[in-house]
Structures are given as structure tokens and as C-alpha cells.
Amino acid sequence: MKALGFAELFAQLALLNQSQRQQVLTALHPAAGLDRVVALIDEIRRDGRRCPDCGCERWHRHGRANDLQRFRCCACGRTFNDLTGTPLARLRHKDKWLDYLAAVLESRSVRAAAKRIDVHRNTAFRWRHRFLHRVKDDRPARLSGIVEADETFLLESQKGSRKLDRKPRRRGGRAALRGISRHLDCILVARDRSGQTIDAVTGRGALKAAQLTTYLLPKLDPQALLVTDANATYPAFARAHGIAHQAVNASAGERVRMSSAGAIHIQNVNAYHRRFREWLARFHGVASRWLSNYLGWQWALDGGRVASVEQLLRIAFGVINR
């Protein structure tokens, strides 16, 4: 539209009634959402932009496609855009991304989110795990000071699978074996007193010292004091790696005791377990294969750590293309 025609049209906006203004806003909302998300993508990728194929930082602009600027690598000649090689590549309806991320921050179900932004429920489910793919990796580098660690268990689920490796259970059902068995997913959570948290789905059944070496040891400060329950796996792990360790015997009624290092308890990590279970209940069961994504989602929301769609979109990119 020419500038003169736009000026005349813009001058008439003041003459619109409330219903007409709402219609104009509704018509402009998708375009405004698209412009906003494209600008955010450019801002996020601008400083670290490089060829996803060879890693070269020398490139030049090479036209536009699918509402995004394309680039050509000066070294290998490959073309790419800011989504190439990311979990968000080839996702459509960019104008609805920020509205969808708002639904993620509100912990809406797949069907509720799909209805809100007017997409198919399969699209909403696919978007959920594309956007959460890197969120689960957004974790602190180290836990220091007094570090509480404990495991919790959820019934394994093959929800959505076309073929099961066991007999189907009615509406989730119960584990076929009593106690801690191969029918339960083990979730390890470690949390220091500053609120920094790491978690991992270690596998099926009881926690093993080798799993602690894999998931906890790289994140544990050498000077940290590890506080756990009376599970024998933890002292064996601590002795093997020279880590200071204190145990709380909750089964004997011990909750808190004082020491020179401070209060010895695992109430922070147990409270985190409780919040995670209460939050997860709204989804009426999740498949084991996606459990790590839900752990990342809960960590992003816990305590209001991620409070805006822009921040969530930045985490979804992570260190992609590096």
C-alpha cells in the first residue's frame, strides 16, 4: 500500500466502533505474532549465527523463504536459516508459536492448547515436545554446599505406542510386581539449598551406584555435602568418589538433625517431588519416553523461573548450531 493510502486508512481508525476495532485487532493478530517471533528468532541467533553444517562464521544473505532470512555459507556453500538444525526447523504456523508458548507456561493440556490456538491436537502434541526438547538440558552446571538427593518412582507407561512389550493395563493400572521393580521408572532429583536442581530418568527399577556416577557425579561440587535417605546406594557412591555424605533415616522417624555444616534433611528435594507429582497429575499419565521433557518443563516453571514466552523461546534454542 502506498504511503498516502495508508495515511488515509489510518486516519479513519478513530471512527471505528468497539466491534469494528475488535475485528481489526483479530485480523492483525496473526501478522503481529509472526513479526514478533521472526524478530525474536533474529535477535536470539544474531550473535552466534554460523553454518550448521561446517560451523563457519562467514556467510552472506541469500534471499528469504518461509518468512525467514536465508544465508549461504562462504566456506561450504550450503544455505540455511536460523532454524536449520534445530528442533524448531520446518515447524509451520510461526504466527501461533508465542500463543502456544503462553499455553505451555500455563501448563495447559494438549487438547486445551490446541483449542486455544486453533490447531489440531496432534500438532499441539508435536509442538510440545519440539519446544521442550532443549528445555530439559537447561540445568545448572554445579550443585554446591549442602546437596539433597533422593529418588522417586512412577509407573512406567507406553502411552501412545502401537506395540507394547507387556500386556496392556486398564486406565494405567498397577505394577504387576510389588515394591520397586522393573515396572517403575526411577527419577533421581538432586537440589542444593540455593534451589539449583538437576534431575534424570535413570532407568527402570532400583537406583544403582553406576547411575549416580553417570548423572549426579558430573554436577556435584567436590566440596559439597551430599545428604540423602538411608538407601545403601548413596554411601557406596560417596565412598567410591571421596564425597562427604550424611544420611537421614526417615523410616526410623528422623526428619531433621543439626550438624556443624547446617540442618541435615531432605525436605527440599521431597517437596520438589511432591510438586512435580501434583503438577504431572493434570496430564492423566505421560509416556515414559517423554518423561525427561516433563521434568524439564516442571523445572522451567518451578518457582516462576521462566515467566515469559520470550525467555522460553530462548531456552528452546539453547546452544543449537554450535
- pLDDT tens digit sequence for 241-269: 999 999 998 777 888 888 877 889 999 99
CA distance 154 to 201: 10
Q: At residue 224, what are phi and psi to the nearest 5 degrees?
A: -75, 155
Specify whether the CB–CB gap between 103 and 117 falls below 8 A: yes
Angle between helix axes 97-105 and 18-45 (nearest 10 degrees) is 90
Confidence at residue 124, expressed as pLDDT on a 0 to 100 scale: 96
Confidence at residue 30, expressed as pLDDT on a 0 to 100 scale: 61
Give SS3 for 217.
helix
Closest-CA residue to 82 (of 48, 126, 35, 129)? 48
CA distance 51 to 142: 31
Supply the mean pLDDT for the chain: 88
Q: At residue 7, what are phi and psi to the nearest 5 degrees?
A: -60, -40
- DSSP state for residue 143 in the 8-state scheme: B
Q: What is the pTM of this model?
A: 0.85
- pLDDT tens digit sequence for 106-135: 999 999 999 999 999 999 999 999 999 988
Residue 186 sits at the vertex; the CA angle it makes with 181 and 124, to the nearest 5 degrees, is: 120
Residue 44 binned pLDDT confidence (cut-offs 50, 70, 90)? confident
